Amino acid sequence: MIMEEIQKAVRAALKELGIETGEIILEHPADLGHGDYSTNVALRYAKEAGMKPRELADQLVQKLKVKSLKFVEKVEVAGAGFINFYLSKEFFTERVAEILANGQHFGRNKSLAGQKVMVEYTDPNPFKEFHIGHLMSNAIGESIARLVEVSGAKVIRACWQGDVGLHVAKAVWGMWQKVESLKLQVESFDVKDLGEAYALGSQKYETDENAKGEVNELNKKIFDRSDEKVNELYDWGRKISLEHFEEIYRKLGTKFDYY
C-alpha cells in the first residue's frame, strides 16, 4: 500500500539522521491543498535530532526526494514542520482501473476472519412513522455491516423494534377513537391511518387529562394483554407497521437476522 511505502521511506530517512522509530503517523490533511498525506515526525523528533522542527523537516524532504517514491508527485514542508505528500494522477488512475476490474470483489480481505460482529441499526418504532433519522441510521448501519462483512467477519444484522411503550399506547388510543367514532373495522386501518392515530393520541395525551389517564391504562393492558379489544387493535397496528418497514427495507437493500 502507498501509505506503508511512505511510512517505510520516512522511517529510513530518519534512520539516516540517527533517529530510530517504529511508528510513523500519517494523516489526511483537512485541506486538500496540503496534500494527500501529512506527517508530524519532524515536530516529534526535532529535539532528539538537536534541530528545529522546520530544519529537520527540510532535511527529511531532501532525503525523501532522493528516494523517488513511486506515485508521490511532490513532497514539501509546511507550517512549523509538517511534511506533506502529494500523490500523482497516475496513482489515482491505476486505483480506479483496479476498482473497475475487481467490481464487487474490490476491497475484500480477511482482516476480520473468524470474528462474529453484531451491527444494530435503523430501529424504527412500530405505530410511528419511519422518518429521515431512521433512514440515516439505516444507511450508516448497513454501510458498517457491509464493510465488516467484506473484511471476512460473520455479520449479524439486528433491528431493535420498540413495539411496547407509551408511544404504542398513544397510537392504540387514537385507533380506538377512530374505530368507535367512525364505526370502522380494525382491518380497514392502513399505515397512513396509523400515523394519524398516533398524532391524535400524542396530542391528546399532552392536552387532555382524561385522555392521558386512558392512554396510561391502555399502556398497562398492552403490556399484560388483558383486554381482547385492545389486543385486536394492537396486533393489527403492529402487523401493518412492521410490514411497512419490511417494504422500505426491500427498497433500501437491507435485511435483518434478528429483531
**With bands split at pLDDT 50, 70 and 90, how would you rate the model's confidence at 181?**
confident
Residue 152 is placed in which grid cell?
Answer: 471476512
- Best CA proximity match to 8, nearest among 55, 70, 91: 70
* Residue whose C-alpha cell is 373495522: 185
Distance CA 240, CA 254 (A): 19
Residue 232 cell numbers, joined = 385486536
Question: In terms of DSSP bridges, do strands 82-87 and 72-78 run parallel, antiparallel, or are they unpaired?
Answer: antiparallel
State percent of the chain over pLDDT 90.
87
Least Cα distance to 235 among 164, 159, 184, 158 occurs for 164
Using pLDDT thresholds of 50, 70 and 90, give the confidence band for residue 185: confident
Q: Are 201 and 223 in contact (CB under 8 A)?
A: no
Beta partners for 119? 157
Tell me: pLDDT of 183 over 90: no
For residue range 155-173, list pLDDT tens digits in order: 999 999 999 999 999 999 9
Q: Which residues pair with 86 in a beta bridge?
A: 74
17, 22, 33, 170, 220 from 77: Cα distances, Å: 17, 22, 13, 63, 68
Q: What is the pLDDT of residue 251?
A: 96
What does the pLDDT average to over 132-140?
97
Residue 118: strand, helix, or coil: strand
- Specify the pairing of strand 116-120 against strand 82-87: unpaired
pLDDT of residue 95: 92
Question: Which tops the pLDDT comparison, 68 or 23?
Answer: 23
Cβ neighbours, 10 Å, residue 147: 14
The whole-number pLDDT of residue 143 equals 97
Q: Please tell me the distance from the alpha carbon of residue 35 to that of residue 33, in angstroms, as a whole number.
A: 6
Arithmetic mean of pLDDT, 212-239: 96
Residue identified by cell 500519517 is: 26
At 67, the amino acid letter reads: K
